[in-house]
Amino acid sequence: MTEQKKPLTLIKGHIIEAKSFSDPVITENGWLAVEDGVVQGVFSALPERYAGAPVEDYSDKLVLQGFSDMHLHAPQYPMLGMGMDLPLMEWLKTYTFKTEARFEDTAFAREAYLRLASELVNNGTTRVCIYSSIHTDATLILMEELERAGVGGYVGKVNMDRNSCECQESTLQSKRETLRWLDACDRFSLVRPILTPRFTPSCTDELMRWLGETARERGVFVQSHLSENKKEIALVKELHPDCEQYWQTYDKFGLWTDHTIMAHCVHSDEREQQAMIDHNVLCVHCPDSNINICSGFAPVRRMKERGVWVALGSDIAGGAQLPMLQVLTCCLRMSKARAIATEGLEPFLTVGEAYYLATSAGSRYFGDRDGFAPGNPLHAVVLDDAALPPSARTLTVKERFERAVYLADDRSIAAVYGSGRRIK
């Protein structure tokens, strides 16, 4: 029997890879070979074996890796830009819980999530780790719309059985609905479930213990929040006096394991950072949110130097910007503010380093290797910077890339590829 050939495509353009936490590797007018949706390699000259293969020609355009938004709240999409003068705990009570409660209405959920999924794709975000609300049906709608749009990743039905105003469930209801949701997730191929205790203050010990047992029994990852705000940390200490540090409130219930995601970590000290390193916990830096809600400046450079696994998240709607290009530039600005505050003792991040956090650092969570590594599913964004302001001289490709990071928006995105196929 003759083996059927797999479809082969060549993408031509200036290929920009985040192969490490440093300057990107640029292959000018190179070739990105993709077979059956899987990257085969990046080449500066076309190998003979690919002669005659179909070409998607983006000559002189910038071919970036697809962005991974590793922390965002889908039901907060309708409240983008609201309540930005309030600190975290007051913001949650005044705006967030009221908005999330609306997602009991499945028609409203469908409308909001259809638009959210479309906007993610239009801005080059091809994978997410995303929170839904407490509502099982709305969570399944979110998964449907992400999958239909071609966005992959992990989706969590949120668990909250205390201190959560309009969004509070009973402990029994939270358990029952979580199981109903998990049992309905087998039909999805691009998105998978992730257990999501909102954060320690919103979950009783009984619920946290049950979630830890469920994570272990079903082999499901976990996402939550950690050390975002000083008032939050004080409340956690009051609720769990037996724990010296915030992270231990997850660990004692079996929720602090390999590939656990913890958003923010603004005030995590060296001991908490070491616990992340020891357990391969992913810290998601959310710069726009941390500024808007006045949580503080996360020590990203210091965490990276110590070996903490760090990626980026928009954290909408604490973060008011959904496009990862804007999150990336906010990350750069925050790092410069921290460099100023430390009088240069903690150097600011470069564009290449922030690009790594927005792409490869997050894609590792999904099993990829850094850059456009052979074997990775194709996730790519093609930027056309021709409409940006004219330059007084000819720019290098690296200069064009750095300028596009700051200036490009969805109008500059010529194409998006997710999970091996073109989705825009």
Q: How confident is the model at residue 2 (pLDDT cuts 50, 70, 90)?
A: very low
For the chain, first and last CA: distance in Å? Answer: 37
Q: What is the pLDDT of residue 166?
A: 84
CA separation for the pair 182, 82 (Å, rounded): 32
- Per-residue pLDDT at 5 exceeds 80: no
Q: In 10 A of CB 188, how many CB atoms?
A: 16
Categorise residue 35: left if φ over 0, alpha if ψ from -120 to 50, beta otherwise.
beta
- Per-residue pLDDT at 276 exceeds 70: yes
**Beta-bridge mates of residue 112:** none
DSSP state of 252: T
In 3-state terms, what secondary structure has residue 83?
coil
Strands, E assignment, 208-258 = 223-226
Q: How confident is the model at residue 87 (pLDDT cuts 50, 70, 90)?
A: confident
Strands 261-264 and 223-226: parallel
Residue 291 CB-half CA count within 13 A: 16
> Environment class of residue 112 by beta-carbon count within 10 Å: exposed (0-12), middle (13-18) or buried (19+)?
buried
Q: What is the pLDDT of residue 3?
A: 44
Rg of the chain over all Cα atoms, to the nearest angstrom = 21
| Encoded tokens for 147 | 């999958």
Q: Which helix (H) or strand (E) holds 26?
A: strand 25-35
Q: How confident is the model at residue 4 (pLDDT cuts 50, 70, 90)?
A: very low
Are 290 and 297 within 8 A, CB to CB?
Answer: yes
Average pLDDT along the chain: 96
Q: What is the pLDDT of residue 6?
A: 66
Q: At what angle do helices 171-183 and 136-149 cross, to 10 degrees?
A: 30
CA separation for the pair 400, 388 (Å, rounded): 10
Q: Angle at Cα 303 formed by Cα 297 and Cα 308, nearest 5°?
A: 130
CA separation for the pair 69, 179 (Å, rounded): 26
Strands 196-197 and 223-226: unpaired
DSSP state of 294: T
State the architecture of 8-66+370-422 in CATH terms: Roll (2.30)
> Environment class of residue 254 by beta-carbon count within 10 Å: exposed (0-12), middle (13-18) or buried (19+)?
middle
CA separation for the pair 337, 333 (Å, rounded): 6
Query: Which amino acid appears at position 191 of this protein?
Result: V
Mean pLDDT throughout 20-24?
98
| Encoded tokens for 327 | 């999150």
Percent of the chain clearing pLDDT 70 (strictly above): 99
Q: What is the pLDDT of residue 350?
A: 98
Is 83-358 CATH 3.20.20.140?
A: yes
- Per-residue pLDDT at 156 exceeds 50: yes
pLDDT tens track for 373-396: 999 999 999 999 999 999 999 999
pTM of this prediction exceeds 0.95 = yes
Q: How confident is the model at residue 1 (pLDDT cuts 50, 70, 90)?
A: very low
CA separation for the pair 276, 21 (Å, rounded): 19
- Per-residue pLDDT at 423 exceeds 50: yes
Are 308 and 276 within 8 A, CB to CB?
Answer: yes
Domains in the chain: boundaries: 8-66+370-422, 83-358
Q: How confident is the model at residue 89 (pLDDT cuts 50, 70, 90)?
A: confident
Mean pLDDT throughout 100-125?
98
pLDDT tens track for 280-315: 999 999 999 999 999 999 999 999 999 999 999 999
- The side-by-side arrangement of strands in the sheet containing 67-73 is 67-73, 125-131, 152-156, 191-193
| Encoded tokens for 178 | 């979580």
Measured torsion, CA atoms of residues 250, 253, 257, 260, in degrees rounded to the nearest 10: -50
> Environment class of residue 89 by beta-carbon count within 10 Å: exposed (0-12), middle (13-18) or buried (19+)?
middle
- Per-residue pLDDT at 57 exceeds 90: yes
Nearest-CA neighbor of 288 among 336, 323, 321, 325?
Answer: 321
CA separation for the pair 169, 162 (Å, rounded): 8
